[in-house]
Structure 1
Amino acid sequence: MRKVTIWFILFVWTSTMFAQKRILMENLGVSQDKDITPIVLEALQQADFKDAILVFPKGTYHFYPERAIGKYHAVTNHDNSYKYFAFPLIGCTNIEIDGGGSDFIFHGVMTPFLVENSMGIKLKNFSIDWKEPFYLQAEVLESNALEQYVDIAVNPMTKTEFEGNRLGFVTNGLSLPFLGESMVFDPKTNAVAYNAQSYLLNGVASRKTFDQSLGGNNYRIKARFAKTPAPAGLIYVFKGPNRSNRLAPAIHLTNSSNLHLDKLNIYHAGGMGVIAEKSENIHLNEVNVKLREGSGRMVSTTADATHFCNCKGELVIENCLFENMLDDASNIHGTYVKISELVDKHTIRAGVNHIQQFDYNFASSGDKVEFITNETLLPIAPATVKSFKKINDHLFELSFVEELPATLKVNDAVDNVTWYPTTIFRNNVVRNNRARSILISIRNKTVIENNTFSSMMTSILFEGDLNHWYESGAVDDVLIRNNIFYDCVYGGGKGSVIWINPRMKQTLKDQPYEKNIVIEDNEFRTFDNSILSALSVDGLIFRNNKIIESGTYPKLWPGLPVIEVRDGLNTLIQNNSFEGKEKARIVIDENSSRSLKIDKKQKGFVIDKK
């Protein structure tokens, strides 16, 4: 009885302590025909940035950058710049934004929600969209493979402009001098087109187009396409040049904790839908990144739907729809920073190496880290951070409690192992997007279950690297179960539906990079061969899975095996079935064969040990 009384007193005290004041936005003069950005700031100030619920009456509300709070702001995996915020949730405690089912429409280059140095934040019941899209969309009218040109009809939702003989466009106050990065969609499927990578116009080629007006919104684009220009009827989307097309993510969560996003529709953003870094305990429920019905747009966000860099605690992503993004549905990872100097026995200088990670706060005093070998990406030794001091936006000095390992050298790396979450990704649908469904590079327990995947590239990718994005790290406990995979890897690039592909310079046969990946009770209904390709895994289990050849498209990579394992230890392949025109090949290299356990009676398979 005494315990019950104590818990009741604690409950009453906690409820009183965190009681939230309801602020009715209609009482502050919100209106559907004016910029309400300053009214949001007024409401937050009235609440002293804590213990309040901002309640909107259902409606359509507009936000502009001219009167928004602004500052120079770094966002990982984006383009850093002076940014403006409609909802500046900075230093807030126990704040809830309840949109009441409203549409929030944004104008110009701005970030709708910044949650920074805050705790106990809840965003619910609203949608995010922009009046103008951050890309140009055009239908192919005619295609000439011999002369390498397409005639296009530009959708009038975006304005075009010429610079010499080069077509560019203007949107949200940005003037983009050339078309930039591209993707091709099929209006019949509302998805990325089959074999789309053959039609792309990217990199240097996108800067060297020779364009001309054909009258009205019609233009001829003459350039060097990846292989051939897209055929008539398909849709090109161009999002402008790299390093200037990720300026306006919808929601940025940074250095914050206990964050809940519920029943949100993100119809568009000039960057990612939700980008989180160095934050703890994040829950996304029914956060949909999707097309607005009837909008005529082919693209939702111009980058990932969601992205989590060096977060910790519990990360839950459930009951969400992610469609038509120009990048992944979710990428969950840490960060490798490369060592540039060994200063003394306890101190190094290191830095971030990708420009879209500049100004990143890698570590704090007390964080646990591991030193990583450049060549193998394997750990050398653990250490504890004593101090972290920034020198500039890409270089910093790290001091450690312990002495540096004797074998540590310049170009080795550091991985902050304090900042990894346990992750649940369940009951989600990913479809119609460029790139992958989900990337996993985290050492804590991860469960991926009851999802439906259909992306133009790999559905689930494991890929630590120390040469491009510098995304760590090796996984140690992953369960992938009860998912359905439909026609994945249809964009033309080489890959597998599930691809375990760490990018190390060399593998050590007795020390795999990844560990303990279980793939069970899934259904793969896809047209091409490669279902699973695994490099450098100890404890890979692939069992009770059903693979059915769909015949939806011609095979792009018919020579690839259905399952391939290289440089693995303790692999189990058991009780799977395959239905297709020919037997499905399982290819196991010599090193992996030594500790392999495989069911030789699995339906539809033939085993090829090399």
Structure 2
Amino acid sequence: MRKVTIWFILFVWTSTVFAQKRILMENLGVSQDKDITPIVLEALQQADFKDAILVFPKGTYHFYPEKAIGKYHAVTNHDNSYKYFAFPLIGCTNIEIDGGGSDFIFHGVMTPFLVENSMGIKLKNFSIDWKEPFYLQAEVLESNALEQYVDIAVNPMTKTEFEGNRLGFVTNGLSLPFLGESMVFDPKTNAVAYNAQSYLLNGVASRKTFDQSLGGNNYRIKARFAKTPAPAGLIYIFKGPNRSNRLAPAIHLTNSSNLHLDKLNIYHAGGMGVIAEKSENIHLNEVNVKLREGSGRMVSTTADATHFCNCKGELVIENCLFENMLDDASNIHGTYVKISELVDKHTIRAGVNHIQQFDYNFASSGDKVEFITNETLLPIAPATVKSFKKINDHLFELSFVEELPATLKVNDAVDNVTWYPTTIFRNNVVRNNRARSILISIRNKTVIENNTFSSMMTSILFEGDLNHWYESGAVDDVLIRNNIFYDCVYGGGKGSVIWINPRMKQTLKDQPYEKNIVIEDNEFRTFDNSILSALSVDGLIFRNNKIIESGTYPKLWPGLPVIEVRDGLNTLIQNNSFEGKEKARIVIDENSSRSLKIDKKQKGFVIDKK
């Protein structure tokens, strides 16, 4: 029976592959000197949106929004708007885009690839870039900490404009009236600058700058900086006001399945590189979010390299390079929706609370969910969705097969547990970016192995949240092994290389939030103290790891312990080594000490039980 099944699957797969029609784009008139957006649509229509391979001859091709398919479109963790799509893979089956090693250059605010309500899509062998970057880049000429100003030379790749005494910029048809969110890079390392958070100019401060032209592309920015303006030689990046700087992700995957991205270079996007939601079975191989060599640019994507919200099946991310983003390399999570009304014994009203999640389709009939208590983020009871009715872009009505739990109340939450993937993140390099390397908030098995991490904040973060981004959920089976962590958490903020930090209002000492996290056979080669900080974990194992002080930078947080465990159960710390100028402190609180197993003969450590 098993042999018959395997041969049947192989027959169906090979039949499907050979049934694909090859459409040679050169026969449709693609050329390097015109807008080929309408030609792509013609090719898809010719194939009836199914069973075809669109093959490009190697070249440089330009795409513009004026003749692109468009619609009002919601993208989670982005700014919703009317959007234009160069490759509208909507309702497609078994479509492959083979770029043949080509450069795809985009102009204006548009989304290069939309994969929506589709299955069996493969994207391979091309690069994505924009003619103009979605940010302003400027070198510091002089800074004055006493008078709180900085003189900058703006890179001419972006045009500037003034509104009164406030500097703004124009890019891709967007007029951004003030500098907005900022980050500081070091051209010597090509990375975010050491202690960069001291130099930032964000939020209200960026709206109240008093700017003046110094002639040419040089300007003086007088403002309130986090601590002090950046010193001469460093590079400021400004990406404009929040709510208008995540408009153009490179690839959006939504409500689709069996998706394969292979050998892609994403040099830039005005948002995330790959954003996926409510999709199943996704494989990224050699999908690089990186700087184009010789471009002079300091930033790749202006948000995450990759992001996966409520996906399921198998998610594999391997052999990728993620560098110089203005946010995380990968964030993989579900969504908590907060209850606003208990309608009857089977029905609630709930909604998404962050504006960049508005119009999100949280659930469908038959989905399994859990009710979550607001204070502890712990489950109350499971349930099955009977119906999902959208009221508006942020509020919906959910009915369940079962009666609501008696203890359920307004401001508790619902977590859709049907939509979580098993995840493999392996053989990747993350470096030089703002924010974290990878965030994990998924309950299915996760393996993170054979990677190299060096981000300005935490490398691996576990953080359930019912306060800001509303990203669920608690992990239950994570293996972190054979990775190298090099000079992480260098941006100036407090944090650990691996930080288990669920954001609940209270922890229950006998019911931890996270479970079964194994960290083994890794090398931590970094300058600062805090390697592991863990809150509310049952079954944390930290063993066979090597920690070496690099001495690359002065320590930012010398008072922090190397390992700290709070409100944990069944923690094992075993056979680790530390090489540094002083002994490495391990701090364990009283509650965690009761079930702690620790090898007291580990090299270079001292144990401090509180």
Q: In the TM superposition, what is the alpha-carbon distance from 1:6 to its structure 2 partner?
A: 8.9
Cα–Cα, structure 1 residues 510 and 33, in superposed 2: closer, same or farther, change >3 Å?
same
Match of 1:404 in 2: 404
Please say if residues 573 and 598 of structure 1, whose CA atoms lie closer than 8 Å, have aligned partners that are also in contact.
Answer: yes
Task: Work out the CA distance in 2 between the residues paired with 1:523 and 1:2.
Answer: 43
Cα–Cα, structure 1 residues 398 and 13, in superposed 2: closer, same or farther, change >3 Å?
closer
Cα–Cα, structure 1 residues 602 and 63, in superposed 2: closer, same or farther, change >3 Å?
same
Cα–Cα, structure 1 residues 152 and 398, in superposed 2: closer, same or farther, change >3 Å?
same
Match of 1:92 in 2: 92
Q: In the TM superposition, what is the alpha-carbon distance from 1:417 to its structure 2 partner?
A: 0.1
Q: In the TM superposition, what is the alpha-carbon distance from 1:4 to its structure 2 partner?
A: 6.0
Per-residue deviation, residues 412-443 of structure 1 (Å, max 9, x unmatched):
00000000000000000000000000000000
- Is it true that 1:53 corresponds to 2:56 in the alignment? no
Per-residue deviation, residues 341-383 of structure 1 (Å, max 9, x unmatched):
0000000000000000000000000000000000000000000
- Is it true that 1:182 corresponds to 2:182 in the alignment? yes
Structure 1 residue runs of 5 or longer lacking an equivalent are: none
Please say if residues 475 and 515 of structure 1, whose CA atoms lie closer than 8 Å, have aligned partners that are also in contact.
Answer: yes
Task: Work out the CA distance in 1 between the residues paired with 2:546 and 2:351.
Answer: 45
Task: Work out the CA distance in 1 between the residues paired with 2:25 and 2:45.
Answer: 13
Q: In the TM superposition, what is the alpha-carbon distance from 1:558 to its structure 2 partner?
A: 0.1
Cα–Cα, structure 1 residues 147 and 8, in superposed 2: closer, same or farther, change >3 Å?
closer
Task: Work out the CA distance in 1 between the residues paired with 2:8 and 2:245.
Answer: 53
Cα–Cα, structure 1 residues 17 and 490, in superposed 2: closer, same or farther, change >3 Å?
closer
Cα–Cα, structure 1 residues 557 and 345, in superposed 2: closer, same or farther, change >3 Å?
same
Cα–Cα, structure 1 residues 353 and 9, in superposed 2: closer, same or farther, change >3 Å?
closer
Task: Work out the CA distance in 1 between the residues paired with 2:273 and 2:30.
Answer: 25
Task: Work out the CA distance in 2 between the residues paired with 1:6 and 1:459.
Answer: 41
Please say if residues 18 and 51 of structure 1, whose CA atoms lie closer than 8 Å, have aligned partners that are also in contact.
Answer: no
Please say if residues 385 and 400 of structure 1, whose CA atoms lie closer than 8 Å, have aligned partners that are also in contact.
Answer: yes
Per-residue deviation, residues 255-286 of structure 1 (Å, max 9, x unmatched):
00000000000000000000000000000000
Per-residue deviation, residues 139-185 of structure 1 (Å, max 9, x unmatched):
00000000000000000000000000000000000000000000000
Q: How does 1:204-223 map to 2 (within 5 A)?
A: 204-223=204-223
Please say if residues 374 and 413 of structure 1, whose CA atoms lie closer than 8 Å, have aligned partners that are also in contact.
Answer: yes
Q: How does 1:111-130 map to 2 (within 5 A)?
A: 111-130=111-130
Task: Work out the CA distance in 1 between the residues paired with 2:305 and 2:537.
Answer: 28
Q: How does 1:76-475 map to 2 (within 5 A)?
A: 76-475=76-475
Please say if residues 336 and 472 of structure 1, whose CA atoms lie closer than 8 Å, have aligned partners that are also in contact.
Answer: yes
Please say if residues 18 and 94 of structure 1, whose CA atoms lie closer than 8 Å, have aligned partners that are also in contact.
Answer: no
Task: Work out the CA distance in 1 between the residues paired with 2:211 and 2:17.
Answer: 64
Per-residue deviation, residues 302-331 of structure 1 (Å, max 9, x unmatched):
000000000000000000000000000000
Task: Work out the CA distance in 2 between the residues paired with 1:11 and 1:119.
Answer: 18
Q: In the TM superposition, what is the alpha-carbon distance from 1:19 to its structure 2 partner?
A: 1.4
Per-residue deviation, residues 88-135 of structure 1 (Å, max 9, x unmatched):
000000000000000000000000000000000000000000000000
Task: Work out the CA distance in 2 between the residues paired with 1:139 and 1:203.
Answer: 21
Q: In the TM superposition, what is the alpha-carbon distance from 1:2 to its structure 2 partner?
A: 11
Please say if residues 518 and 542 of structure 1, whose CA atoms lie closer than 8 Å, have aligned partners that are also in contact.
Answer: yes
Q: In the TM superposition, what is the alpha-carbon distance from 1:3 to its structure 2 partner?
A: 5.1
SS at match of 1:18: helix
Cα–Cα, structure 1 residues 229 and 422, in superposed 2: closer, same or farther, change >3 Å?
same
Q: In the TM superposition, what is the alpha-carbon distance from 1:489 to its structure 2 partner?
A: 0.1
Q: In the TM superposition, what is the alpha-carbon distance from 1:137 to its structure 2 partner?
A: 0.1
Q: In the TM superposition, what is the alpha-carbon distance from 1:506 to its structure 2 partner?
A: 0.1
TM-score normalised to structure 1 length: 0.99
Residues matched between the structures, number: 610
Cα–Cα, structure 1 residues 164 and 573, in superposed 2: closer, same or farther, change >3 Å?
same
Task: Work out the CA distance in 2 between the residues paired with 1:381 and 1:556.
Answer: 43
Q: In the TM superposition, what is the alpha-carbon distance from 1:13 to its structure 2 partner?
A: 8.2
Q: In the TM superposition, what is the alpha-carbon distance from 1:485 to its structure 2 partner?
A: 0.2
Task: Work out the CA distance in 1 between the residues paired with 2:568 and 2:61.
Answer: 55
Cα–Cα, structure 1 residues 560 and 104, in superposed 2: closer, same or farther, change >3 Å?
same
Task: Work out the CA distance in 1 between the residues paired with 2:390 and 2:16.
Answer: 41
Per-residue deviation, residues 527-567 of structure 1 (Å, max 9, x unmatched):
00000000000000000000000000000000000000000
SS at match of 1:26: helix
SS at match of 1:67: coil
Task: Work out the CA distance in 2 between the residues paired with 1:202 and 1:420.
Answer: 34
Cα–Cα, structure 1 residues 5 and 239, in superposed 2: closer, same or farther, change >3 Å?
closer
Cα–Cα, structure 1 residues 217 and 591, in superposed 2: closer, same or farther, change >3 Å?
same
Q: In the TM superposition, what is the alpha-carbon distance from 1:7 to its structure 2 partner?
A: 2.5
Per-residue deviation, residues 189-245 of structure 1 (Å, max 9, x unmatched):
000000000000001001000000000000000000000000000000000000110
Q: In the TM superposition, what is the alpha-carbon distance from 1:10 to its structure 2 partner?
A: 6.4
Match of 1:511 in 2: 511
Task: Work out the CA distance in 2 between the residues paired with 1:435 and 1:118.
Answer: 32
- Greater shift in the superposed pair: 7-16 or 463-472: 7-16
SS at match of 1:175: strand
Cα–Cα, structure 1 residues 462 and 12, in superposed 2: closer, same or farther, change >3 Å?
closer
SS at match of 1:51: strand
Task: Work out the CA distance in 1 between the residues paired with 2:2 and 2:285.
Answer: 37
Structure 2 residue runs of 5 or longer lacking an equivalent are: none
Q: In the TM superposition, what is the alpha-carbon distance from 1:14 to its structure 2 partner?
A: 5.6
Cα–Cα, structure 1 residues 95 and 13, in superposed 2: closer, same or farther, change >3 Å?
closer
Match of 1:489 in 2: 489
Please say if residues 95 and 120 of structure 1, whose CA atoms lie closer than 8 Å, have aligned partners that are also in contact.
Answer: yes
Cα–Cα, structure 1 residues 530 and 8, in superposed 2: closer, same or farther, change >3 Å?
closer
Cα–Cα, structure 1 residues 510 and 220, in superposed 2: closer, same or farther, change >3 Å?
same
Task: Work out the CA distance in 2 between the residues paired with 1:275 and 1:346.
Answer: 33
Please say if residues 166 and 211 of structure 1, whose CA atoms lie closer than 8 Å, have aligned partners that are also in contact.
Answer: yes
Task: Work out the CA distance in 1 between the residues paired with 2:465 and 2:104.
Answer: 38
Match of 1:590 in 2: 590
Task: Work out the CA distance in 2 between the residues paired with 1:2 and 1:519.
Answer: 37
Cα–Cα, structure 1 residues 98 and 402, in superposed 2: closer, same or farther, change >3 Å?
same
Task: Work out the CA distance in 2 between the residues paired with 1:212 and 1:256.
Answer: 50
SS at match of 1:168: strand
Cα–Cα, structure 1 residues 353 and 5, in superposed 2: closer, same or farther, change >3 Å?
closer
Per-residue deviation, residues 460-491 of structure 1 (Å, max 9, x unmatched):
00000000000000000000000000000000
Q: In the TM superposition, what is the alpha-carbon distance from 1:17 to its structure 2 partner?
A: 8.0
Task: Work out the CA distance in 2 between the residues paired with 1:18 and 1:58.
Answer: 23
Task: Work out the CA distance in 2 between the residues paired with 1:490 and 1:407.
Answer: 44
Question: What percent identity do the matched residue pairs reach?
Answer: 100
Per-residue deviation, residues 394-421 of structure 1 (Å, max 9, x unmatched):
0000000000000000000000000000
Cα–Cα, structure 1 residues 585 and 10, in superposed 2: closer, same or farther, change >3 Å?
closer
Cα–Cα, structure 1 residues 13 and 213, in superposed 2: closer, same or farther, change >3 Å?
closer
Per-residue deviation, residues 27-61 of structure 1 (Å, max 9, x unmatched):
00000000000000000000000000000000000
Please say if residues 190 and 298 of structure 1, whose CA atoms lie closer than 8 Å, have aligned partners that are also in contact.
Answer: yes
Q: In the TM superposition, what is the alpha-carbon distance from 1:16 to its structure 2 partner?
A: 5.2
Task: Work out the CA distance in 1 between the residues paired with 2:549 and 2:20.
Answer: 55
Q: Name segments (4+ residues, structure 1) moved above 6 Å.
A: none
Task: Work out the CA distance in 1 between the residues paired with 2:340 and 2:443.
Answer: 25
Please say if residues 328 and 436 of structure 1, whose CA atoms lie closer than 8 Å, have aligned partners that are also in contact.
Answer: yes
TM-score normalised to structure 2 length: 0.99
CA RMSD of aligned residues (A): 1.3
Please say if residues 143 and 229 of structure 1, whose CA atoms lie closer than 8 Å, have aligned partners that are also in contact.
Answer: yes
Cα–Cα, structure 1 residues 189 and 12, in superposed 2: closer, same or farther, change >3 Å?
closer
Task: Work out the CA distance in 1 between the residues paired with 2:96 and 2:12.
Answer: 20
Match of 1:12 in 2: 12
Task: Work out the CA distance in 1 between the residues paired with 2:347 and 2:325.
Answer: 42
Cα–Cα, structure 1 residues 548 and 3, in superposed 2: closer, same or farther, change >3 Å?
closer
SS at match of 1:100: strand
Task: Work out the CA distance in 1 between the residues paired with 2:36 and 2:454.
Answer: 39
SS at match of 1:212: strand
SS at match of 2:295: coil
Cα–Cα, structure 1 residues 9 and 88, in superposed 2: closer, same or farther, change >3 Å?
closer
Cα–Cα, structure 1 residues 440 and 168, in superposed 2: closer, same or farther, change >3 Å?
same
